Amino acid sequence: MSKVDVLLGLQWGDEGKGKIVDVLAPKYDVVARFQGGPNAGHTLEFDGIKHVLHQIPSGIFRETTRNVIGNGVVLDAVIFKAEIEKLAKFNLNVKKNLFISKKATLILPTHRLLDAAYEKAKGENKIGSTLKGIGPTYQDKIGRQGLRVGDILSADFKDRLKRLTDVHFKILKDHDVTYNWAELEAQFLDAVQFLKEFNLIESEYFLNRELKAGSSILAEGAQGALLDIDFGSYPFVTSSNTVTAGACTGLGIAPRHIGEVYGIFKAYSTRVGGGPFPTELLDTDGEAMRKEGNEFGSTTGRARRCGWIDLPSLKYSIMINGVTQLLMMKADVLSIFPTIKVCTHYELKDGSVTDMIPYEIVHEKISPVYTEIKGWGTDLRQSKENFPAELNDYIKLLETELNVPITLVSTGPDRTQTIHRSLVTV
């Protein structure tokens, strides 16, 4: 029996999961997404081409890797169709290499409308949602009235669709939302027809059969641990369990079958949308970081908030995920700074100092306590194993504080700009 390794973000998303899943995919027989939906944009770069995937797992460009969209995912058929069509020119065998759980929940056009209506109603307290209908779809799943991918195969699918959209129409009326349902429905039904041409499977049986046969499986997380519905800075979170445990429920894998947990983080921090961000830089350093790191959302184009690395939050993410290896991304971006700050603790309102995330983080101002180290000041993008001494000091400091080895360092967006220090894979 083989194991399922899990790769997930330890911060607020956009850590570089897509790049690393693509790098690791040749070592895995199967890559499986376990939660989230098209809120996510996972970027891959190779041969001078940049690809952004939204729902399709990031192993899709590797010929021998099969890809699964698990039951924990919320799937937008319209976006799925567009995504597949965009890949057409690369001659990938998606009909053979892509499998979709019948138990994944469908995002309806009305879920997107509801997302926008709920955000608008929140006013200044809005979450900063990607408005892809993620929250309302998970709401319907938990409320036991959602539609699932497998439902599209049933003869009465249109009746079921009507039952649910009638519920949505009533809510949308209360919010004074106007829309052209005939147009949205036609587009949705066309995409549903398209979806029927794919391998719609019971993915929990598929994956467990693969495990028994000795196949290696990599579970690809979306978002990040600090956006987790239970452990993130609620309510400024996404609507799924983004943590390792989410891979169990989102794929039907028993906890004892989890192997390595790759925790991926940027050498600094970013966040898109609302919510607390203790190390956020609202000054020229923050702007320089955003510019150098090209910190603009891959799906929405929104500017990402930027700040120094935050060890209390990384320690928390490592704890709740059981991280066994750390992968550090975007080290090249910090080359522009003569001095690099590392937040080791938080100072709370009452003057006390802690390295834990306090419950009050959402409502009370928390001041970061920094230690500083000298920057490396050299371009890392062409580097091989020999890092400048200051970068090695930075890595050592993080490893000592976090107590988990950093086994991979990324020095640029391309597949090849990846330094394996002592990465252990299957």
Catalytic residues: 14, 42
CB of 173 to Mg ion, least distance (A): 34
Distance CA 24, CA 415 (A): 10
417 binds ligand IMO (CB under 6 A): no
Site mask, ligand GDP, residues 268-297, x = CB under 6 A? -------------------------x----
Distance CA 409, CA 332 (A): 10
Site mask, ligand GDP, residues 318-337, x = CB under 6 A? -----------xx-xx----
40 binds ligand IMO (CB under 6 A): yes
134 binds ligand IMO (CB under 6 A): yes
CB of 21 to Mg ion, least distance (A): 12
Distance CA 350, CA 348 (A): 6
Please give the biggest Cα pair distance in the chain.
Answer: 66
Taken in order 236, 366, 356, 311, the sign of the CA dihedral is positive
Q: Applying CB under 6 A, which part among 10-18, 151-159, 186-194, 247-255 lies near ligand GDP?
A: 10-18
Helix (H, G, I), strand (E, B), or coil: what is residue 204?
Answer: helix
Q: Applying CB under 5 A, which part among 37-45, 270-278, 306-314, 412-420 lies near Mg ion?
A: 37-45
Report the run of H or E that residue 394 belongs to, with start and end.
helix 389-402
CB of 132 to ligand IMO, least distance (A): 6
For residue 403, the tally of other CB atoms under 10 A from its CB is: 11
Distance CA 85, CA 304 (A): 28
129 binds ligand IMO (CB under 6 A): yes
Site mask, Mg ion, residues 40-79, x = CB under 5 A? -x--------------------------------------
- In the block, tokens 């935050």 appear at 310
313 binds ligand IMO (CB under 6 A): no
Residues 246-275 contacting ligand IMO, CB under 6 A = 272-273
- Would strands 49-53 and 42-46 be described as parallel, antiparallel, or unpaired? antiparallel
Q: Applying CB under 6 A, which part among 8-16, 61-69, 386-394, 414-422 lies near ligand IMO?
A: 8-16
Distance CA 244, CA 257 (A): 12
Interacting partner of 332 out of ligand IMO, ligand GDP, Mg ion, none (Cβ under 5 to 8 A depending on kind)? ligand GDP
Nearer to ligand IMO, 132 or 290 (CB): 132
Nearer to Mg ion, 14 or 115 (CB): 14
Q: Give, in order, the Cα–Cα distances in Å from 240 to each of 32, 83, 151, 361.
A: 16, 22, 22, 20
19 binds ligand GDP (CB under 6 A): yes
**Cis preceding linkage at 235, omega within 30:** yes
Nearer to Mg ion, 41 or 252 (CB): 41
Helix (H, G, I), strand (E, B), or coil: what is residue 425?
Answer: coil
The alpha carbon of residue 82 and the mean position of all alpha carbons in its chain are separated, in whole angstroms, by: 20
Which residue has the closest beta carbon to ligand GDP? 43
Nearer to ligand GDP, 117 or 225 (CB): 225
Report the run of H or E that residue 306 belongs to, with start and end.
strand 305-307
Phi, psi of 83 (to 5 degrees): -65, -45
Distance CA 371, CA 158 (A): 60
Quick check: 421 and 406 in contact, CB under 8 A?
yes
263 binds ligand GDP (CB under 6 A): no
Quick check: 388 and 331 in contact, CB under 8 A?
no
130 binds ligand IMO (CB under 6 A): yes
43 binds ligand GDP (CB under 6 A): yes
Distance CA 307, CA 315 (A): 17
15 binds Mg ion (CB under 5 A): no
273 binds Mg ion (CB under 5 A): no
Q: Which residues of this chain interact with ligand GDP, rule CB under 6 A?
A: 9, 13-19, 40-43, 45, 293, 298, 329-330, 332-333, 410-413
Q: Which residues of this chain interact with ligand IMO, rule CB under 6 A?
A: 9, 12-14, 39-42, 127-130, 132, 134-135, 222-224, 227, 238, 272-273
Q: Which residues of this chain interact with Mg ion, rule CB under 5 A?
A: 14, 41
